[in-house]
């Protein structure tokens, strides 16, 4: 099986598209009078939001968004030049403002998911179940290695890695998010994020190392964004359908449980420092990055928060190909999963 997997490593790609000024202005005008508060309300009109996005953007951008989900070779899509709210409040250092405070960005974000036929999802105990998580340098977490930290580099990871990957069966817990998006509301040009395509990473490892990473000899801790701690004994790599490799590595939450697992992890982490594998992103307001969460590892360099109300501010949302990968926590909210 491992030999077959090595043969089927795909040539992953990243696409970048730009929204013209006229299209961005049309989109902004079409969504100028929205009046909703919580994320659940926005989902009730997502078909309309998707239609507005589709009829505002040009064909190149539309085709890229619509084709992203089904293109197995494409693992990241960067959309640049989308409009954002012009009267932004101060960066929310407590980590939350209602989507109604950023209605334009919230509407566009959900509209893009609708256009790409990705289901927006959240988790009961992660981010309090809210649809949007605001990635900001929280004043009480500046030294944490998390999305709300800033001082230290936030190591390469897959989000929510302790949950079942796309090829693993569900029991009482929802699946690991298949998609993750980040929309920049406020930027800091000194801060770089980067990502490494999984197949490029695996191609640098020996078969023996890959085989060891496929063994359930690693403790994967639940990330700090969850309201409860949990650890599971799991493999880092899993071979999915058609030999496509999936990953749950998380630099801050992975511990080897055997000597051979520790040796394999050393080899993996050495390649994660390989600059030739990294693709860097510097966000500007209106940029959206959509990634296939289990097929790519992402990271963010450390930076110093100014704490002046104008620090870097991204909106994050999770997605699934189908809600069948979600075990609903509440009958009335099918997109909020048990975890």
Q: What is each CA distance from 146 to 1, 12, 69, 190, 315, in whole angstroms?
A: 35, 27, 27, 18, 15
Q: Is-contact 165 175, C-beta < 8 A?
A: yes
Please give the distance of CA 17 from its chain centroid, rounded to a whole number: 18
Give tens-digit pLDDT for 36-68.
666 567 898 999 999 999 999 999 999 999 999
Residue 141 has pLDDT above 60, yes or no: no
What tens digit of pLDDT does each residue of 85-137 get? 999 999 999 888 888 899 999 999 999 999 999 999 999 999 889 999 999 98
298 known ligand binder: yes
User: In whole angstroms, what is the distance from residue 156 CA to residue 193 CA?
Assistant: 10
- Whether the CB-CB separation of 76 and 296 falls below 8 Å is answered with yes
pLDDT surpassing 80 at residue 74: yes
Alpha carbon distance 205, 202 (integer Å): 5
Whether the predicted pLDDT of 8 surpasses 60: no
Confidence grade of residue 226 (pLDDT, cut at 50, 70, 90): confident
Q: What does the pLDDT look like over 253-288, one tens digit per residue?
A: 999 999 999 999 999 999 999 999 999 999 999 999
Alpha-carbon gap, residue 81 to 65, rounded angstroms: 14
Distance CA 118, CA 129 (A): 18
Reported confidence tier of residue 13, pLDDT bands at 50, 70, 90: confident
pLDDT bin (cut points 50, 70, 90) of residue 310 is: very high
What pLDDT does residue 153 have?
64
Domain ranges of the chain: 13-197+282-337
Three-state SS for the chain is: CHHHHHHCCCCCEEEEEECCHHHHHHHHHHCCCCCCCCHHHHHCCHHHHHHHHHHHCCHHHHHHHHHHCCCCCEEEEEEECCCCCCCCCCCCCCCCCCHHHCHHHHHHHHHHHHHHCCEEEEECCEHHHCCCEEECCCCCCCCCCCCCCCCCCEEEECCCCCCCCCCCCCCCCCCCCCEEEEEEEECCCCCCEEEEEHHHHHCCCCHHHHHHHCCCCEEEECCCCECCCCEEEECCEEECHHHCEEECCECCCEEECCHHHHHHHHHHHHHHCCHHHCEEECCCCCCEEEEEHHHEEEEECCCCCCCCCCCCEEEEEEEECCHHHCCEEECCEEEEECC
Q: Which CATH number fits domain 13-197+282-337: 3.60.130.10, 3.40.50.970, 3.40.50.2000, 3.10.450.50?
A: 3.60.130.10
Cβ proximity of 68 and 74 under 8 Å: yes
pLDDT over 70, % of the chain: 91
- Side-chain-side CA neighbours of 319 within 13 Å: the count stands at 26
| CA distances in angstroms from 29 to 52, 88, 116, 196, listed in the order given | 10, 17, 22, 37
- pLDDT over 90 at 240, yes or no: no
Pairing state of beta strands 133-135 and 288-292? unpaired
Compute how many other C-beta atoms are within 10 angstroms of the C-beta atom of residue 202.
20
**Euclidean distance between CA atoms 209 and 271, whole angstroms:** 12
Based on the number of CB atoms within 10 Å of its own CB, is 158 exposed (0-12), middle (13-18) or buried (19 or more)?
buried
- What pLDDT does 300 receive? 86
How much is the mean pLDDT over the chain? 90
The residue-averaged pLDDT of 211-229 equals 90
Burial class, 5, CB count within 10 angstroms (exposed 0-12 / middle 13-18 / buried 19+): buried
What would the two tokens of residue 113 be?
């998911």
């Amino acid at each position: 099986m491992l030999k077959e997997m090595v043969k089927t490593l795909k040539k992953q790609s990243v696409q970048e598209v730009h929204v013209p000024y006229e299209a961005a202005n049309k989109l902004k005008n079409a969504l100028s009078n929205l009046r909703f508060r919580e994320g659940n309300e926005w989902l009730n009109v997502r078909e309309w939001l998707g239609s507005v996005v589709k009829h505002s953007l040009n064909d190149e951008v539309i085709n890229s968004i619509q084709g992203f989900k089904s293109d197995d070779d494409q693992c990241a899509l960067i959309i640049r030049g989308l409009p954002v709210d012009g009267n932004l409040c101060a960066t929310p250092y407590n980590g939350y403002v209602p989507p109604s405070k950023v209605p334009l960005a919230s509407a566009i974000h959900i509209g893009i998911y609708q256009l790409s036929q990705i289901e927006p999802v959240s988790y009961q105990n992660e981010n309090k179940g809210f649809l949007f998580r605001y990635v900001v340098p929280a004043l009480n977490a500046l030294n944490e290695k998390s999305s709300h930290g800033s001082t230290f580099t936030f190591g390469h990871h897959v989000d929510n890695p302790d949950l079942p990957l796309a090829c693993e069966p569900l029991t009482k817990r929802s699946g690991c998010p298949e998609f993750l998006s980040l929309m920049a509301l406020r930027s800091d040009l000194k801060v770089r994020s980067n990502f490494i395509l999984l197949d490029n990473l695996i191609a640098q490892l020996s078969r023996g190392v890959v085989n060891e990473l496929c063994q359930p000899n690693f403790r994967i801790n639940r990330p700090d964004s969850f309201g409860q701690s949990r650890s599971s004994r799991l493999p880092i790599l899993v071979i999915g359908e058609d030999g496509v490799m999936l990953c749950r590595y998380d630099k801050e939450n992975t511990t080897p449980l055997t000597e051979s697992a520790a040796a394999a992890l050393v080899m993996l982490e050495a390649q994660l420092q390989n600059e030739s594998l990294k693709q860097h992103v510097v966000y500007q307001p209106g940029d959206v990055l959509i990634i296939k969460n289990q097929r790519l590892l992402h990271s963010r360099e450390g930076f110093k928060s100014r704490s002046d109300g104008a620090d870097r501010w991204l909106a994050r949302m999770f997605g699934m190909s189908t809600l069948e990968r979600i075990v609903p926590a509440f009958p009335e909210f099918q997109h909020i999963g048990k975890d």
